A and B are shown apart, each in its own frame.
Chain A
């Protein structure tokens, strides 16, 4: 990604208008999806497949003393019972910390898998799991992270800290001494379930003497492949992951993909038969990993002129029984802990602690929804103390080109946040509404308007480098076969890739075909998460296409005896800019490449333009680029019931160049609803490590009637010059900002600030009641 790809592309296209990028095309998956032909993992119904059911620990912390296989094998139709001892390779699937077996001898959360039942029919698998006798030695349990910190109880031998994150920039203590306004508060954020409509599923098919193909729900085929290979004791090359359509991911299938695929693969290889595992909705709710809870102590200081001087943050994350992706989002939260503002003095201490709760997964926002709830609440409180308008205060402190982040990363361009806030404020009529709702309101309803600003670094957080590959093959007839390891989870990214390839090659979009995602025949593009699918995955596509263009330019220049720079590709034709009578169709030129033995295929490969932050100070270039978001929310509260009605959402994003406007709009609106759900209707209700509401009946995601009025999307195209067409990412940013805006709007409406997310209805109601001094009945 060292190349300024945007400039390269512009030069190559001679500054012409784009014909494909920036328009709305028919997505590559569109027809299949509306025709009902799209196949998801559980739709691969292989007739002789065996069915796999997980047997799970009912204890949140216990040793597995004995698994009585016979008790399940006796059930007619059960063919295998697999325990930890039966894992042929390494019993290890940890992501960044090697603390997690695929089948365990020690249960560390309620639902931890202690055996796999493999049976010829689904009902037999159920019965086998019911009848399996397992002897446990229950251990003391801990569900509170603070308690776990102090406890001598060991969930893992290596101690109770699962992850740490530190930021040290400037001199925080000295800076606070200068501050005239200092606010310190504690915030808590709760879990959230992805609740995607497609439950986890995988089908594994043994191939040959040593090989297995797994069709399963995942967001990272190559990591999944490596995990499967590891548990089987095989090489990566001996495992193939084919990723079909995914019915929603949001990060959940990023974390859980390797798990579900490994379970299927184990059963297939051990039984020698195709093996299918499909989670029930109950399993998906009760046992699949979710958003991690945070407790954040946040201290902000500013001088009277409204300039932020310092932030001092301490936070604790409940990691649950295994570290999984918690390490990543514990760090991401730290890197983003200043919010979209320029702060010279930063101290952050973050820790994730093991408990016997469910482990965490990646989930849209990945630490940012939690941390930015604290940030954006603080900003409102600070604005109030400084007697400044909340938007004015934010604009005054916003990052601008030339700013340095809390990790001291220089942002020299693609920093559209200040402009974005101002534009959203106009779209939302912020000034008018803020003033209107500040006036005394009568009756049983109260209205308010609030703002939430977000940012999200594009690219994988963590220790490893972030890379992406892509492959472009020009066929003899001029059609193009494109393949990428980025997965289609609904976000339409592979279409964006095909569009960018088509634009660079100057051919109609319909001539580029995106191949089925199969690790055996395509390059590793890294994970489909962290808003990296287009900015990093897509830049690899452009990298490949550019290389091919250069080769084709040279061929044309030889044919026409002109300079390579004068060759143009547009609408399926290639021509000499100086002499337009010299032209050839793209397909003819393609064939000519073959005739002349010029390689018609190219592999793109880039690593993300990102550094390796210092573990003690967190200083470094943590992400290639940052997408910015700003949402304003208007709410109306029913004082007598605590019901919050979101009247209007006004979202805006600064995500660089927008490749597919209608798709970006869909992402932003969908994210807005996800945020509304997190704030107002969804609650993961836990007791003693168990989810008490594992169904759609009681885990309430928004319906079509919960959708507020959505204003036209505000877009600032702050192009990022190191990505293919200047795009950044747009998949998470609008989610993060929404709950923050709603909480701030509630504060204006009620004069009550809530320090917990989700904004629990009863909490709101009882807070109103207390404020009113509402006694009981006469």
Chain B
């Protein structure tokens, strides 16, 4: 079956099958390997993408579910014209990563928060990121990165 939806700002049209998850579709059909398969059952967060601006588990969605009006954002969609977004800069500056495997999902989930809530409290950041597991950082520098991202965004306004 054919599906069509907006991906990182561009309309794409591709073949898929009902049993193909959005995760596999993004990785295997479109080579967007930034979306990871950490567990394939929604329990780790590494497959998180934004669907119409909201973080969702792509391993729990079928690509067939995507409609023309849907917009999917992966981390590749954050940089504009070769420049990183503030949130990526913040993660760089504040060492919000180590092995990097949870990073795309983490950054996208944080971005969704900042889009809705430009000055989140520490509690609000934790509430948003509670479903994104990280084994390396112990989360402290991730928290600091999100706070820094909020500052950078406010400064650029």
Contact = CB atoms under 8 A, between A and B. Distances in A.
The answer on direct contact between A and B (beta carbons under 8 Å) is yes
Interface of A: 24, 26-27, 29-40, 42-43, 45, 194-199, 245-250, 278, 280-281, 489-492, 662-663, 665-667, 669-674, 695-697, 701, 703-705, 707, 710
Interface in B73-93: 74-76, 79, 84, 88, 91-92
B55 interface: no
Contact of A34 (B40, B107, B143): B107
11 contacts: A35-B79, A194-B135, A197-B44, A197-B102, A197-B133, A197-B134, A245-B100, A246-B99, A670-B135, A670-B138, A674-B135
B43 A695 contact: yes
Contacts of B36: 40, 197-198, 247
Closest 10 CB pairs of A and B: A490-B99, A247-B101, A36-B34, A33-B100, A36-B75, A490-B98, A43-B33, A669-B138, A673-B138, A696-B43
Contacts of B132: 704
Interface centre among A34, A45, A701, A703 (most CB of B within 10 A): A34
Interface string B92-130: 101111111111100100000000000000000110011
A666 B100 contact: no
A557 to B, nearest CB: 41
B53 interface: no
Contacts of B50: none
A254 to B, nearest CB: 14
Nearest to B24: A122
Contacts of A278: 37
A34 B84 contact: yes
Contacts of B46: 197
B96 to A, nearest CB: 8
B88 A34 contact: yes
Contact of A248 (B43, B99, B125): B99
B34 A37 contact: yes
A674 B133 CA distance: 12
B136 to A, nearest CB: 5
A701 B38 CA distance: 14
Given A45-B27, A491-B98, A703-B130, 9 more contacts: A34-B96, A40-B33, A42-B33, A197-B99, A280-B40, A662-B141, A666-B140, A703-B131, A704-B130
B140 A695 contact: no
A246 to B, nearest CB: 6
Contacts of B88: 34-35
Contacts, number: 157
B139 A704 contact: yes
Contacts of B94: 662
B95 A662 contact: yes
A33 B103 contact: yes
A197 B101 contact: yes
Contacts of B107: 34
A40 B125 CA distance: 28
Interface residues of B, number: 51
A710 B138 CA distance: 10
A199 B74 CA distance: 21
A704 B99 contact: no
Nearest to A43: B33
A196 B132 CA distance: 13
A196 B76 contact: no
Interface centre among A27, A32, A198 (most CB of B within 10 A): A198
A707 B144 CA distance: 13
B80 to A, nearest CB: 12
Contact of B41 (A27, A249, A489, A695): A695
Nearest to B143: A704
Contacts of B31: 45
Given A30-B92, A34-B107, A35-B79, A198 B41 contact: no
A627 B52 CA distance: 49
B142 interface: yes
A749 B44 CA distance: 33
Nearest to B95: A662
B138 A707 contact: yes
A250 B134 CA distance: 13
A40 B102 CA distance: 12
B65 interface: no
Contacts of A673: 138-139
Nearest to A673: B138
B44 to A, nearest CB: 5
A518 to B, nearest CB: 20
A710 B27 CA distance: 37
Contact of B98 (A280, A281, A666, A704): A666
A704 B95 contact: no
A670 B98 contact: yes
A32 B140 CA distance: 21
Given A35-B79, A703-B130, A45 B33 contact: yes
Contacts of B154: none
B60 interface: no
Nearest to B141: A666
A42 B37 contact: yes
B137 interface: yes
Given A34-B84, A280-B40, A696-B44, A39 B136 contact: no
Contacts of A281: 38-41, 44
A322 to B, nearest CB: 25
A32 B88 CA distance: 11
